[in-house]
Structure 1
Amino acid sequence: MDLLEIIYEMIDLRSFSNLWYWISLAVMWSSASHWILGVPYDMVYRARRRGGQAEQDLEDLTRVNVNRMLYIAEVSGPWIVALACFVLSALATLGFVYLVEIAQAVFLMAFPMSVVGLISFFTARRIARERAAGAELRRRLAFCRLCIQFVGTVSILVTAFWGMYQNLAIGAL
């Protein structure tokens, strides 16, 4: 086996049969459910148990990340939405109309993450509007995490079924 064959095997564009795709999918959803609005979720547990400085740290870090997210949305929100829509529609067209498997795989990762981005944005806006702190802030972050986990569960299920279908359909050819 020469070097080019090894490299080609490592960077296989048949994504659904590639172990690296499934590992990256698991890492992506694990990270998405741990980092809520840029705040590690263990800080929420620590703030609930200890209070005091841990609670203040949670509120400060959340405030910084919420303000950052809302500033980015205010300054370049329409451009981000336009670019995301273009990329997602290009991936969907390449993947599901022209049957490019790598585009299908990337779309099945990117589309749910755009939903997570919307959930995060609306949560950040609500936290800023209500000036949530203490138990209310922890509740908002917990609900945001629950929504993200729901999207992740549905996304993994759909991706797994689509990947199995693709592998069986290609294997039958």
Structure 2
Amino acid sequence: MDWYSTVFELIDMRSFSNLWFWIALAVAWSSASHWVLGVPYDMVLRARRVGGQAERDLEDIARVNVNRVLYIARVSGPWLVGILFFVLTSMAILGFVYRVEFAQALVLLGAPMSGVAVLNVGTAARIEREQAHGPLLHKRLTRCRLYTQMIGTLSIFVTALWGMYQNLSLGVLG
């Protein structure tokens, strides 16, 4: 057995039957729902519960991350959107027209994450526009987290259905 076949046996390129893909999917959505606009959600809970210094820390880190997200969106936004659409379209064509399973997996992970990115930019703009702080900031971050979790749940469900379909059809055909 040569090195090449050993590596590809360890790293199965059939994504939907690979445990590592499902671990990566779970970690990606867990991280996306914990880090709301770059702010760890436990800071929101602690600020709501304790107040004082925890509240000031939350407002500071939220302000920094809102400014960072909006700066990136305003300066590089059109280029990032164009590159993202090119990559996602290329992966979708490779995956669903040419039946490359790895590309399908990337689309099923990347497309919903793109929606979360749009949600984050919109939430950041709203926080800046409203100059949100205190309970209003908590509400905006909590709502952004809830929508992220809803997108993630739907994404995992659709990915699981598609993965089961792929595994069953390849099991019957292959």
Q: TM-score category by the smaller chain?
A: over 0.9
Q: Which blocks of at least 5 consecutive residues in structure 2 are unaligned?
A: none
1:42 matched to 2:42? The reply is: yes
Name the structure 1 match of 2:73: 73
Tell me which amino acid in the other structure corresponds to 1:78.
P
Name the structure 2 match of 1:130: 130
Aligned pairs for 1:130-169 (under 5 A) are 130-169=130-169
Give the Cα separation in 2 of the matches to 1:116 and 1:150: 10
Give the Cα separation in 1 of the matches to 2:117 and 2:10: 30
After superposition, the C-alpha distances for 1:86-111 in whole angstroms (9 at most, x for unaligned) are 01111111101111100000110000
Runs of 4+ more than 4 Å apart: none
Tell me which amino acid in the other structure corresponds to 2:109.
M
Give the Cα separation in 1 of the matches to 2:130 and 2:81: 25
Tell me which amino acid in the other structure corresponds to 2:72.
I
Name the structure 2 match of 1:91: 91
Tell me which amino acid in the other structure corresponds to 1:45.
L
Tell me which amino acid in the other structure corresponds to 1:39.
V
Tell me which amino acid in the other structure corresponds to 1:15.
S
Give the Cα separation in 2 of the matches to 1:8 and 1:100: 16
Name the structure 1 match of 2:28: 28
SS across alignment from 1:132: coil
SS across alignment from 1:12: coil
User: How far 1:58 moved relative to its partner?
Assistant: 0.3
User: How far 1:10 moved relative to its partner?
Assistant: 2.0
User: How far 1:12 moved relative to its partner?
Assistant: 1.5
SS across alignment from 1:13: coil
Name the structure 2 match of 1:104: 104
Give the Cα separation in 1 of the matches to 2:12 and 2:75: 39
Q: What is the total number of aligned residue pairs between the two structures? A: 173
TM-score, normalised to structure 2's length?
0.97
Taking every aligned residue pair, what percent have the same amino acid on both sides? 64
User: How far 1:136 moved relative to its partner?
Assistant: 0.2
SS across alignment from 2:132: coil
After superposition, the C-alpha distances for 1:14-51 in whole angstroms (9 at most, x for unaligned) are 00000000000000000000000000000001001110
SS across alignment from 1:79: helix
Give the Cα separation in 2 of the matches to 1:10 and 1:38: 34
Tell me which amino acid in the other structure corresponds to 2:159.
T
User: How far 1:68 moved relative to its partner?
Assistant: 0.5
Tell me which amino acid in the other structure corresponds to 2:124.
A
Indicate the RMSD between aligned Cα atoms, in angstroms: 0.9
Tell me which amino acid in the other structure corresponds to 1:158.
V
Give the Cα separation in 1 of the matches to 2:6 and 2:19: 15
1:13 matched to 2:13? The reply is: yes
TM-score, normalised to structure 1's length?
0.98
